Amino acid sequence: MASSTADRPAGLSLEPQSRRIGEKAIVTWLFVAALAAVLITVGIIVALLEPAAEFFRFVSVTEFFSTARWTPTQADPEFGVLRLLAGTGAAVLYSCIIALPAGLGAAIYMNEYASHRARQVLKPLLEVLEGIPTVVYGFFAVAFVAPLLKDNWWTWMPGRLGEEPGTQFILAAGLVLGIMIIPTVASVSQDAMAAIPRGLREAAYGLGSTRMQVATRVVVPGALSGIVASFVLGLSRAIGETIVVLLAAGAMANLSIWPNDGAFTMTAFIGRTSTGEIAYGTITYYSIFAVGALLFVITLIVNLISIALVRKFREVYE
Amino acid sequence: MSRQSVRTRTAVQAVQDTSIRLERRGADVAGEMFRAVLLLCIVVGIVMLGTLLAYVTWRGWPRLDLNLFTQMPSSINLDTAGFLPAIVGTVWIMVGVLVTVVPLGVSAALYLEEYANNDRWWNRAIEVVIQNLAAVPSIVFGILGLAFVVRSPLALGPVAFAGSLTLTMLVLPTVIIASREAIRAVPSTLRQASIGLGATKWQTVWHQVLPTSVPGILTGTILAMSRAIGETAPLLLVGATTFVQFLPNGPFDGAYTAIPVQIFQWVVRPQEEFRVLAAAGCLVLVVLLLLMNSVAIWLRARFSPES
């Protein structure tokens, strides 16, 4: 395929082509359309970097990456972004505790256990779960999950863990966030498992393996890079989610991973600050872009890891 | 390492692990427990989905009346307040998304599937960029929209079409990926027959490939639109105002709001009446999305190669 046209004499190409200018113009347009994704990515980088650079003229990088308080709107503002990173980390931690095992389990069940009919019911249900808008999840978190947890808090637990939470706390956000990303984890994992050749399973069954053995010793190890990719992708979604954490986790930039504490995440800060009245060109305005740039860099790294893992997986089996 | 060796290694490992247990069969207690745990994993999500739907229906039911669809939002007459401006705003936004994302997304997919030579590094780079773009947080698109669409260089100001363009950028990867799959599923014999009859490449694409892949493209587009309808965070940044007391004049003029933004504004208010309104709004949004998803799923099942 690579050398199909290269070593033929000029003018003897077997490729279908036309000398009509119209056709060339169309191909050019198609290429430009494909380039739009690149332009958008470049646009994101430019849109973030310019104001972020402006921000760092006021605030030093060391101050930004310190654990000092995060109080951008006060008279004497402080910008310790590690507080926001810790908030994101805490919410993501609790969401992953739920979503990673549940998503993986759901994928194994769908791929190895469910009958064809059961799969036809379960797959659309998971798609519906994926399609529920974040604002509905946010409402559910703040109006149902948070009060339910608060009223039934395990107050018998010793020390810090036994204290009843306020109206907004990390666990309420993390729990709903976790439910939200189950379908992402499940569907990407299941794609990876479905790509495992039938012969491999049949060989294991033929040698007397039980279903559980096939699932845990053949399918899961075989699809491992795809499964890890699904975890990473779920992580990326949890990091970038805004509305649920904005509504349910609160706006206290705590340095805490206790489930009953409030937390302020990077995305919640951007969302909350941008809905308020902020003057163009102030340091608060620029701080949105600085935090946005950090968020973009983190998710970019996470996404590239996930893309590389999926590639690696495809190379093995396809 | 060859592909065969990975498979062989995995299979041999499986044999070694399992052959020891062949002697003692009997009731497979561990297997049944494993199955129960897996079932629990999938049930967690579905039970939460059921709880969510039941809760939203129960809370929102009292306000699920005609006023909700025909009245302006109000902070005084809460019993008759509605979200008509949000519905109109969402319609304007979605029309804007549809007319921009479909030509752009389908064109990009056609280029990548029909024309791009994968040995060229720039074509592979475009693919990675699209994959990455699909996982960029939605609020980052809001920042992009704020910087480039609302302010210079496009300088549209906070109007509905600025929201449209922001959401277009957000769902473009979804449309491209779905369209590519649909185009890839078109049998190559169709292309060969067309080219054998003397059609040019573009004639083949336009008259054979594109019509054949329409159901798949349509499914992807509906799913992308249903994602765009529910997005809140980016719209908060590109000027969707939370309290609009009048109808927007059109996509290029005046303040606008959208259904999810209106719901968000109701949720953040502490009073009970606003919670009820928020629940009713959520119910409307979820039903709308369920309808769109059902159409997409039906289309996919109706035109899938297996049927």
Closest CA to B139 of A55, A296, A185, A89: A296
Best residue in B138, B139, B263 for a mutation probing chain A (most A CBs within 10 Å): B139
| A288/B contact by beta carbon, under 8 A | yes
pTM over 0.90: no
**Domain check: are B194 and B105 in the same one?**
yes
Residues from chain B that touch A216, judged by Cβ atoms under 8 A, are 34
* Residue whose tokens read 């036309």: A18
User: CB distance B135–A241 less than 8 Å?
Assistant: no
**Residue at which a domain ends, from B62, B79, B114:** B62
Residues from chain A that touch B157, judged by Cβ atoms under 8 A, are none
Residue B2 within any structural domain of the chain: no
Residue B88 within any structural domain of the chain: yes
**Domain check: are B25 and B111 in the same one?**
no
**Domain check: are B39 and B132 in the same one?**
no
**Domain check: are B56 and B135 in the same one?**
no
| A203/B contact by beta carbon, under 8 A | yes
Residue B10 within any structural domain of the chain: no
In CATH, what number is assigned to the domain containing residue A200? 1.10.3720.10
Identify whether the C-beta of residue B113 lies closer than 8 Å to the C-beta of residue B180: yes
Residue B264 within any structural domain of the chain: yes
Residue A44 within any structural domain of the chain: no
Residue A211 within any structural domain of the chain: yes
Residue B11 within any structural domain of the chain: no
Cα B294 from Cα A256, distance rounded (Å): 42
Identify whether the C-beta of residue A270 lies closer than 8 Å to the C-beta of residue A291: yes
Q: Cβ neighbours of residue A216 under 8 Å, at least 6 residues apart? A: B34
Cα A283 from Cα A109, distance rounded (Å): 51
Per-residue confidence band for A147, with pLDDT thresholds at 50, 70 and 90: very high
Residue A2 has a pLDDT of 43
Q: What residue in A sits closest to B120 (Cα-Cα)?
A: A2
pLDDT per residue as tens digits for the range B156-193: 888 889 999 999 999 999 999 999 999 999 999 999 99
H-helix segments, B135-253:
138-144, 160-184, 188-196, 201-204, 210-230, 233-237
pLDDT per residue as tens digits for the range A172-209: 999 999 999 999 999 999 999 998 998 999 999 999 88
Q: Which two tokens stand for residue B273?
A: 């009446």
The domain in which residue A279 lies consists of 61-313
Per-residue confidence band for B242, with pLDDT thresholds at 50, 70 and 90: low
Q: Which residues pair with A70 in a beta bridge?
A: A79
Question: Which A residues 43-82 touch B at CB under 8 Å?
Answer: 43-44, 47-48, 50-51
pLDDT per residue as tens digits for the range B103-140: 999 999 999 999 988 888 888 899 999 999 998 999 99
The domain in which residue B238 lies consists of 65-303
Residue B3 within any structural domain of the chain: no
pLDDT per residue as tens digits for the range B193-213: 999 998 888 999 999 999 999
| A137/B contact by beta carbon, under 8 A | yes
**Domain check: are B58 and B74 in the same one?**
no
**Domain check: are B127 and B252 in the same one?**
yes
**Domain check: are B71 and B48 in the same one?**
no
Q: What is the number of domains present in chain B?
A: 2
Residue type at position B273: E
| Per-residue 3-state assignment (H helix, E strand, C coil) for B94-126 | HHHHHHHHHHHHHHHHHHHHHHCCCCCHHHHHH
User: CB distance A135–B264 less than 8 Å?
Assistant: yes
User: CB distance B107–A30 less than 8 Å?
Assistant: yes
Residue A318 within any structural domain of the chain: no
Per-residue confidence band for B25, with pLDDT thresholds at 50, 70 and 90: low
pLDDT per residue as tens digits for the range A225-278: 999 999 999 999 999 999 999 999 888 888 888 888 888 999 999 988 887 666
Cα B234 from Cα A242, distance rounded (Å): 9
Q: Which range, A155-159, A235-239, A312-316, B83-87, is most confident? A: A235-239
Nearest CA distance, B216 vs chain A (angstrom): 17
**Domain check: are B39 and B150 in the same one?**
no
Q: What residue in A sits closest to B258 (Cα-Cα)?
A: A135
**Residue at which a domain ends, from B7, B38, B62:** B62
Residue B170 within any structural domain of the chain: yes
Residue A46 within any structural domain of the chain: no
H-helix segments, A7-81:
21-58, 61-64
Residues from chain A that touch B207, judged by Cβ atoms under 8 A, are none
Is the model more confident about A93 or about B307?
A93
Q: What residue in A sits closest to B202 (Cα-Cα)?
A: A23
Residue A68 within any structural domain of the chain: yes
| A18/B contact by beta carbon, under 8 A | yes
Identify whether the C-beta of residue A185 lies closer than 8 Å to the C-beta of residue A230: yes
Q: What residue in B sits closest to A141 (Cα-Cα)?
A: B52
Q: What is the number of domains present in chain A?
A: 1
A-to-B residue pairs, Cβ atoms closer than 8 angstroms: 321
User: CB distance B45–A128 less than 8 Å?
Assistant: no
Q: What residue in A sits closest to B195 (Cα-Cα)?
A: A16
In CATH, what number is assigned to the domain containing residue B268? 1.10.3720.10
| Per-residue 3-state assignment (H helix, E strand, C coil) for A88-142 | HHHHHHHHHHHHHHHHHHHHHHHHHHCCHHHHHHHHHHHHHHHHCCHHHHHHHHH
Q: Which two tokens stand for residue A172?
A: 């309420």
Q: Which two tokens stand for residue A287?
A: 């701080």
Nearest CA distance, A231 vs chain B (angstrom): 13
Residue B226 within any structural domain of the chain: yes
Q: Cβ neighbours of residue B187 under 8 Å, at least 6 residues apart? A: none
Identify whether the C-beta of residue B168 lies closer than 8 Å to the C-beta of residue B105: no
Residue A207 within any structural domain of the chain: yes
| A148/B contact by beta carbon, under 8 A | no
User: CB distance A110–B42 less than 8 Å?
Assistant: yes
**Domain check: are B122 and B255 in the same one?**
yes
pLDDT per residue as tens digits for the range A100-146: 999 999 999 999 999 989 988 898 888 889 889 999 999 999 999 99
Residue A63 has a pLDDT of 85
What's the burial of B157, exposed, middle or buried (CB within 10 Å: 0-12/13-18/19+)? middle
